Amino acid sequence: MANKPLIVITGASSGFGAKTAQLFNQAGYPLLLLARRIEKIKELPLDFNNVLIEQVDVSNSQEFKQAIKKAEAIYGPTDLLVNNAGIMLLGNIVTQSEDEWQKMLQTNIIGVLNGMKIVLEDMTSRNSGTIINISSIAGFKAFTDHAAYGASKFGVHGLTETVRQEVANSNVRISLVSPGAAETELLTHVTNEKSLDDYLAWKDSMGGLTLDPEKVAETIKFIYDMPQEVTIREIAIAATKQQA
């Protein structure tokens, strides 16, 4: 068993999750890295000693739980779960397909609930542990073409604060990170061309330079590195030039 406790990161194949994996890997933590495209995780610049990679769709509670139990059997209990996996499919409510709504709600909300449920019982009985959920500035502010995505991220805000209150007495920390627009693969799944063009034009209006995912990873580590008795409840982080 490694000296440091186990950290589980969902959506580790790209963007914020991949950067967060690299930061904690450099700091010597054993990692369970989850995504559907595990070949992308295997290509990350990591020291793969003490890294377990499992193909998991976070909306599938059984495979999510199996992966965490497998990692815990090797590395001990999960000390930090970063619920980062998410998708953003932009579109107007009238024209966007219900299938896209379902995909976002299943991944962005059910996936987060699944992860919390798997680790919380053990964390509360140990009176220790941390969960950091990745929401969005679209989780507390409205943006055009974000109806279903906003619903999912407002949901993450609501469930995170609810659970934080429920487990506070057990000394378990529940935190939220709400990033603004950042340079990741998030936009690559948007199917509506007009919504995509509008989003890209909005990004251009910030000088084309949005948030570096590395800074989100550093924020996650900053929250975790606080002593267990201190919870940073929420951090919203965005490019300085993001006005909205």
Ligand X SMILES: NC(=O)c1ccc[n+]([C@@H]2O[C@H](COP(=O)([O-])OP(=O)(O)OC[C@H]3O[C@@H](n4cnc5c(N)ncnc54)[C@H](OP(=O)(O)O)[C@@H]3O)[C@@H](O)[C@H]2O)c1
Which stretches of the chain bind ligand X, using CB under 6 A?
Answer: 10-17, 35-37, 56-59, 84-88, 107, 111, 134, 136, 179, 181-182, 184-186
Question: Which CB sits closer to ligand X, 12 or 167?
Answer: 12
**Does the annotation mark 199 as catalytic?**
no
CB 146 within 8 A of CB 93: no
Give me the catalytic one of 29, 75, 149, 224: 149
Q: How many Cβ atoms sit within 10 Å of the Cβ of residue 69?
A: 11
Question: Which CB sits closer to ligand X, 85 or 118?
Answer: 85
Question: Which CB sits closer to ligand X, 39 or 125?
Answer: 39
DSSP string spanning 112-171?
HHHHHHHHHHHHHHHT--EEEEE--GGGTS--TTBHHHHHHHHHHHHHHHHHHHHHGGGT
> Whole-number minimum distance, CB 185 to ligand X, in Å?
3
> Whole-number minimum distance, CB 85 to ligand X, in Å?
3
> Whole-number minimum distance, CB 177 to ligand X, in Å?
8
235 burial class (0-12, 13-18, 19+ CB within 10 angstroms)? middle
> Whole-number minimum distance, CB 11 to ligand X, in Å?
3
Question: Which CB sits closer to ligand X, 2 or 23?
Answer: 23
The residue behind tokens 């000394």 is 171
- Residues marked active site are found at 149
